[in-house]
Amino acid sequence: MNDTQTATALAIHRHYSAAPERVYAAWTDPIAAAIFLGPSDVQASEVAIDLRVGGRYDIVMRMPDGEQIDVGGVYREIVPARRLQMTWRWREDDPKDEYDTLLTLEFARAADGGTDFTLTHERFATPESRDRHRHGWTSITEKLDAFLRTGLCVGTDLADGRILATALMPASVERTFAALASPEVTTWWVRPGVFDTREWSGEVRVGGRWSASGIGRGEPYTLGGEFTACDAPHRLAHTWQTPAGETTAVAYELRARDGGTQLVLRHDGFANASCCENTAIGWETSLERLIAHLRAAG
């Protein structure tokens, strides 16, 4: 079905291979929503959701130049895995310039078991506002498609020096945690042609140390750090120290979902935007390999 519009409204139609329950969950889970709710290179740095009729949602988006823009609204209708309706209001410098538009999301089960998704956004003040939102929603629905197809999405907030990633692992929480906190790391912490982790060791407890070594761009490298949180098998956090003395922080959160594990990764503390971007690429490659490794291991 083709996308449509009027002077003050737009409708976007997409087919996703994922079931309606999974597409709906992506829109109502703050962690997943933070991954795709930002057009193009805009990052949703904060998402808060109070999922009830009359409850609020609030989204903080970070532009590539560091500018922050806020949007939020109130849920008017909630039919799980079928329909969400909410107001949508941008925060302006002058509150008198703020007004509500109306956003409706519909999730219909398709014949193939997937989802026929419709996003309708109404009550724009001008056609120009409608067109800006069409551009944004088109990009967001494409990001969502990539997330649903692969179960993996990696985003960056360069202004805050943060990487946020989420991935659906084809294994139990216990099995996934073991792959994160053992020499098994060497099987997936790899970016072909860039780095190859050959050894990993660690004392997995708060205050314990870890170290990894391998070959990066043809040269030996060593990383290490200290575990700062360990609540097996649901949470693991550690510092990340490079030979140059730079220190960042990594945190994993794991929870059971759809017969597997939803893994959420945060990597904070980058002072250099280029380093943040390159590390994000490395995480994407490594998490892809972790998914493949766990699937092959059965």
Residue range 101-145, pLDDT digits in tens? 999 999 999 999 999 999 999 999 999 999 999 999 999 999 999
Tell me the whole-structure pTM to 2 decimals: 0.75
CA–centroid distance for 181 within its chain? 22
Domain boundaries, the chain: 4-150, 155-297
Q: Which CATH fold topology does 4-150 show?
A: Alpha-D-Glucose-1,6-Bisphosphate; Chain A, domain 4 (3.30.530)
User: One fold for both 4-150 and 155-297?
Assistant: yes
CA 78/CA 57 separation, integer angstroms: 13
Strand ranges of the sheet holding 195-202, from the earlier edge strand across to the other edge: 152-157, 162-169, 260-268, 247-257, 235-241, 219-231, 209-216, 195-202, 190-191
Q: Which numeric CATH code is attached to 155-297?
A: 3.30.530.20
Predicted pLDDT at 288:
94
Burial class, 82, CB count within 10 angstroms (exposed 0-12 / middle 13-18 / buried 19+): middle
Residue range 231-240, pLDDT digits in tens? 999 999 999 9
Residue range 21-67, pLDDT digits in tens? 999 999 998 888 888 888 887 878 889 999 999 999 999 998 877 78
**Closest residue by Cα to residue 162 from 151, 152, 154:** 154
